[in-house]
Copies of this chain bind each other. A is one copy, B any other.
Amino acid sequence: MSLEKVQQNHKSKITRYRTLGANMPADLTSDYKKLIEKNKNLIILGSAEAIISWDMETKMPPKAVQLRSEQLALLSEVHHKMSISPATGKLLETIQKNAGYNNLGKVEKRNVHLVKKNYDEQTKLPTKLVKAIAKQTAVSINTWKKAKAAKDYNMFKPELQKLVDLNTQAAEIFMKVKQTKTPYDALLDIYEPKMTTEATEKVFNELQQGLKTLLAKIANSKRPIKKIPQKVPVDNQQEIANMLMQTLGYETPPSPNAAGRLDETEHPFTTGYYDDVRITTHYHPENFVSSIFSVLHETGHALYEQGLPQEWKYTPIGSACSMGVHESQSRLYENVIGRSEEFWTPLFSKMKNIAPQCLANLKIDEFIRFINSVERSKIRIESDEVTYCLHIIIRFQIEKDLFAGKIKVTELPAIWNQKYLDLLGVTIENDSEGVMQDTHWASGLYGYFPTYALGNIYSGQIIAAMQKEMPNWRAELAGGSLESVRKWLRDNIYCYGNLYDPVEFIKKATGTELTVKPYLNYLQEKFGKLYGF
């Protein structure tokens, strides 16, 4: 499909959504507007909290820690009170009882649904439980840090147990509210609405099988990966980051059109809303590649947020679809595009010119092979594109059994270590490089891990759909232009905002049901070429 056609197609979509819901009865229109207005305050307050949190990670003087925790606690209390406002409850009731409700347009219905979902989640959880979880989360994180440093799971175990118990209580309440089959489904639903354990298990099993086959082929490959020079001074790395952001069309100050910015933090992240979406990276002086892929990953997240339909700003559907879809966008820029030869073809010599003292002798094919080297590792965040999802699958399998009561907190290390041996063939020496490596479980984020792998699966479907409509996209990339890709993503992904839950979104956006095949095909093709099979 030509670019113009894609754009036209997109325009008609948007117009259709806009006109649906005309001819609403006056009282319904008025109540709906009130609801949206009330919810706008929640969105704006949330975006202000994001700035305060961003400041804490990037600019805050160290002495301000206690004051900042007071500020965040107060804002979160104000936010919670706004969320559970009885006026919102009444509006929701009146709107849903209105005779005209069923004739509401898609946009309005979805907006009402999203407000109601948040209202139910916030009101159904007893305040006592919310506070207990907040308190225990702080304790668990703190204990996790100490236990990880001491390589002592027994120290962490009782605090993890308490947090799991409290979140089980919450999950059981959510299960009723959301009418899910299991408590773990209710947790999954927080990050990936309407996604089920069953559906996840199905695609993850296929994925695991496919990755196993691929890994075996790579292991048999005779092509070794050459080490490359990795030391690049931080100010050169900053220049490389600027080049990448510019290439992707993510503008930062002093550009007068900037709706983003880049700063340095310990762990990279993206935060913000529409016209103010900021990313961070971490510069390792001994490993310049690390920041490159952090910048590409976070820029992928940021472009999604910035690219949501402007006409939906301040309304519930003017938000990302899910964590998984968000991750599809970051992985797409980080891996599919960012680790491709086509992407680097026009950029490689520019990068070398930024740090010629370090990179003068580096060759593009060495670089591409290096950034795509596959190695079975113990640590998720150090793993490559092929093994990454195996790390996630292990966590998913453990989480679902834990919340199904099939395994106990005390058994986690043994099960973890066995699965790492079975799936990745590595031997875990201690629990700090094993079950305690991630912050997620200590932070009460259960049901979150699967979205990382789902994001990869979605990215495969998305790339396949893009490829079908624009078979030339890789050639355009090699020619130095990301314009078509950016336009396509805007017109086929970002344009949906939060209009659908992810399962339905992926169908609308790619034309196919959730399937792991395109992602496996993409990996097979890419690594087959690199490793010669």
Contact = CB atoms under 8 A, between A and B. Distances in A.
Interface string A56-88: 000111111011101100110010000000000
Contact of A52 (B48, B63, B66, B70): B48
B41 A74 contact: yes
Contacts of A55: 51, 55
A219 to B, nearest CB: 45
A202 B151 CA distance: 73
A362 interface: no
Contacts of A251: 61
B62 A274 contact: no
Interface in A213-264: 251-253, 255-261
A61 B274 contact: no
Given A74-B48, A78-B78, A61 B273 contact: no
Contacts of A276: 60-61, 63-64, 67-68
B257 A62 contact: yes
Given A61-B276, A261-B59, A261-B61, A44 B70 contact: yes
B61 A260 contact: yes
Contacts of A51: 51-52, 55, 71
A261 B62 CA distance: 10
A435 B66 CA distance: 45
Contacts of A71: 44-45, 47-48, 51
A75 B48 contact: yes
Nearest to A55: B51
Size range of the chain A interface in the assembly? 35 or more
A257 B65 CA distance: 11
Contacts of A255: 62
Given A51-B51, A52-B48, A275-B67, A252 B74 contact: no
A278 B41 CA distance: 28
A328 to B, nearest CB: 25
A256 B44 contact: no
**Quick one: which of A64, A259, A274, A275 has the most chain B CB within 10 A?**
A64
- A-B pairs with lowest CB-CB distance, top 8: A64-B276, A63-B259, A61-B258, A63-B275, A48-B71, A64-B275, A44-B74, A44-B70
18 contacts: A44-B71, A45-B78, A47-B71, A48-B48, A48-B74, A51-B55, A51-B71, A52-B52, A59-B59, A59-B253, A61-B253, A61-B278, A62-B256, A62-B257, A64-B275, A67-B276, A68-B276, A78-B78
